[in-house]
Structure 1
């Protein structure tokens, strides 16, 4: 138990390096976004499939690291609220400045939500074998990601329910966007919570194998 506590308190330099590189990439991506959508800069590549892959790689890395790093800190409530709050601020700002390209339920909202949900689930999830958790979480993510990418899941709702704005917002937040929903940065709970879970279980799996410090330490 003492060994586990010591590991949790340690910083992992390689993880910090990956996080730092990803932050630089995120800043670069959004700098180009500002040039293209705010200043009408002509950068054709930015709207290409290659740029999409770059954007997705940044987000995948952030979400995986967020799940992985759950074990490395204690102030989960604070971290979760800060991330979720950051997502809300971005949504409000883009709704005012860029109403046609607003961000709704972006990656920060997702990460904040996952952290807050994990406060409730952590004790239960610790009972799941880490290897099983990694495998099942990643497979579920890939399956749901494939389905939602090709054809977003829409629930059959009555006309009365379709007119309930808050219900449509909740469904979009979970991963069931209804007709008319749009967001330039959309990361709902499904399927992305399973990528967060993959990172969470990956740490536990590597720790069980004694590989955390060997792979990511000094």
Structure 2
């Protein structure tokens, strides 16, 4: 039976709100270092990389969770994908050095569309198998953009070089040597993380329906939940706002 959403699980908005706050802080730091040349060595460390990955992983996984409740996934997918295309056009004309080609919005929109198309098939798979398979496939394809399939340090397979010699397969995870994007999340491997969230939410919902232990799922802090309910709008406006603020600070010699 296809799951339907009969109530709002506020914990998802709360977690998404926390991710939004983290994202805005990270992007402010990114602009300061990469565009306005503020000297901050930490931003080039593994710690900063893990911070960025944590934000993205949380967004993608939570979006997958929400997909298991959505009754309008296809429509929302095209809206989010369109927003991703808008980011590409704006960055191309405004900051070409920081152009975004298939960033997180393009990924999320694509994942929503794909999930909407194959949802009947996905729901035929036992949630625990779907969850386990999605995690394994994510790990297997994690470094596909680096030219290989791998599983931790136990196994590795070099993919055919020809996959990375075209200009047209970057959206799948096969960028060529000239490819550059300030924000890059191809369908492989990230769609599998999205499906991890999809199946995780189904498992949690099934558990809640059996046990009636739903108190945690109703947790919320209203200001943070408000941000979580408006993530797309915040994503679209926060970078221009940060860039404008940094320009003002620089013009007043506050940024040097």
**TM-score, with length taken from structure 1:** 0.85
Equivalent-residue separation in structure 1 for 2:47 and 2:178 (angstroms): 27
**More helix by percentage:** 1
The one of 126, 141, 152 equivalent to 1:144 is 141
Partner of 2:217: 216
**Equivalent residue, structure 1, for 2:180:** 182
Pick one of 91, 95, 98 that aligns with 1:98.
Answer: 95
- Is the contact made by 1:87 and 1:105 (CA closer than 8 Å) also made in structure 2? yes
1:88/1:109 contact within 8 Å kept: yes
The residue aligned with 1:36 is 33
Q: CA deviation at 1:150?
A: 5.1
**Offset from partner CA, 1:126-165 (integer Å, 9 cap, x none):** 00000000001001101211x336546764449xx95xxx
User: What is the CA distance between 1:215 and its match in structure 2?
Assistant: 4.1
In the alignment, the residues of structure 2 paired with residue 98 and residue 213 of structure 1 have an alpha-carbon distance, to the nearest angstrom, of 46
Question: Matches of 2:35 and 2:102 in 1, distance apart?
Answer: 21
**Equivalent position SS for 2:170:** helix
User: Which residue in the other structure is 1:17 paired with?
Assistant: 14
Structure 2: 5+ residue stretches without partners: 149-157, 220-256
Cα deviation for residue 181 of structure 1 reads 1.3
2:56 corresponds to 1:55: no
| Deviation >6 Å, runs of 4+ | none
Q: 2:167·2:176 contact (CA, 8 Å) conserved in 1?
A: yes
Aligned to 2:204: 206
> Cα deviations across residues 20-79 of structure 1 (Å, max 9, x unaligned)?
010011111111222222322222222221111111101000100111101233222332
**Which residue of 1 is the match for residue 242 of structure 2?**
none
Partner of 1:197: 195
List aligned pairs for 1:60-139, cutoff 5 A: 60-139=57-136
TM-score between both structures, scaled by the size of structure 2: 0.73
